[in-house]
Amino acid sequence: MNIVPNSKIDKTKINHFFIEHWGSPEMVISSGTFQCNELEGFAVLNELEEIIGLVTYKIHGGICEIISLDSLVEKRGIGSLLINKVEKIAQEKDASRVKVITTNDNLNAVNFYQKRGYQIIEVLPNAVDQARKVKPEIPFTADNGIPIRDEIVLQKCLSEDRGIRSDIKYITDDKISRSVFIASKQRLARELS
Ligand SMILES: CC(C)(COP(=O)(O)OP(=O)(O)OC[C@H]1O[C@@H](n2cnc3c(N)ncnc32)[C@H](O)[C@@H]1OP(=O)(O)O)[C@@H](O)C(=O)NCCC(=O)NCCS
């Protein structure tokens, strides 16, 4: 597979790719409105020089954000090749994290990214309603029947620091857990009687 920087590809070809697969090159997400045809990225070309995979990204404030990722020939390693390339560039440019936003319906993408070291760091309920105000053509329902509604923010740390939160406390004392369990059981019994 031939992977090339988008800057080496005819702009109209890239523009056409976005029109065909996303309706327009404009991507509206909570982190901003992006003209994908003007972003840096990489494309995978087949032997006919046709684009069969495309990723775009933006590096800002030490974070590399993947803005779009598309593979037209799935399960052949194209998606992995493209994100590996972006992660390598991010490291070279001293970005400490790679971030990506997808939507709640896109279970395939959520699986794909998590298997490649990305972690869900935020869920933005109803964020797509805001995006639709700017881009009304965003569909309301995905092909799998799930309403397109919320944004899911995933992130991969490129350095060792995984940012483990110390403010999350679990009740680990067995006595407390048992007393909470008994109290809720008693409440349930009262409600049923
Ligand atoms: C998500 C997406 C980019 C993945 O692209 P892809 O080219 O299918 O990705 P890969 O081929 O690298 O990996 C997909 C699976 O195929 C498997 N695979 C790769 N090569 C394979 C091969 N030769 N034979 C069998 N399986 C293979 C991979 O192991 C992977 O499985 P895993 O996730 O269980 O490990 C693609 O599904 C897509 O474009 N979706 C629509 C747009 C989208 O949702 N983009 C992301 C939102 S920003």
Structure tokens at 3: 């992977």
Number of separate domains in the chain: 1
- Which string of b and e fits 115-125 if b means at least 16 CB within 10 Å? eeebeeeeebe
Return the ligand 1 atom nearest residue 74 CA. 8
Pocket of ligand 1 (CB under 6 A): 69-71, 74-80, 100, 102, 106, 108-109, 112, 115
Residue numbers of the domain that contains 103: 2-192
DSSP string computed for 106-165: -HHHHHHHHHTT-EEEEEETTHHHHHHHH-TTS-SB-TTS-B---EEEEEEESSS-----
d(CA 32, CA 131): 9
The residue whose CA has the least distance to atom 44 of ligand 1 is 109
- pLDDT tens for residues 113-157? 999 999 999 999 999 999 999 999 999 999 999 999 999 999 999
106 alpha carbon – ligand 1 mean position (Å): 13
Structure tokens at 126: 């109803």
Lowest mean pLDDT among 25-29, 123-127, 181-185: 181-185
111 alpha carbon – ligand 1 mean position (Å): 9
70 alpha carbon – ligand 1 mean position (Å): 9
Nearest to 61 by CA among 112, 101, 99: 99
CATH number at residue 122: 3.40.630.30
Structure tokens at 12: 């109209």
pTM for the predicted model, two decimal places: 0.88
d(CA 49, CA 109): 26
173 alpha carbon – ligand 1 mean position (Å): 43
What is the pLDDT averaged over residues 14-42?
96
| 43 touches 3 (CB < 8 A) | yes
pLDDT score of 163 more than 70: no
Return the ligand 1 atom nearest residue 112 CA. 33
128 alpha carbon – ligand 1 mean position (Å): 24
Query: Residue 160: what pLDDT?
Result: 73
Q: Which residues contact 109 (CB under 8 A, 6 or more apart)?
A: 69, 102
d(CA 65, CA 2): 23
| 101 touches 31 (CB < 8 A) | yes
pLDDT score of 46 more than 90: yes
Return the ligand 1 atom nearest residue 80 CA. 12
Structure tokens at 108: 């395939």
d(CA 84, CA 42): 11
Q: Tell me the percentage of the chain whose pLDDT exceeds 90.
A: 81
Return the ligand 1 atom nearest residue 73 CA. 7
The residue whose CA has the least distance to atom 32 of ligand 1 is 112
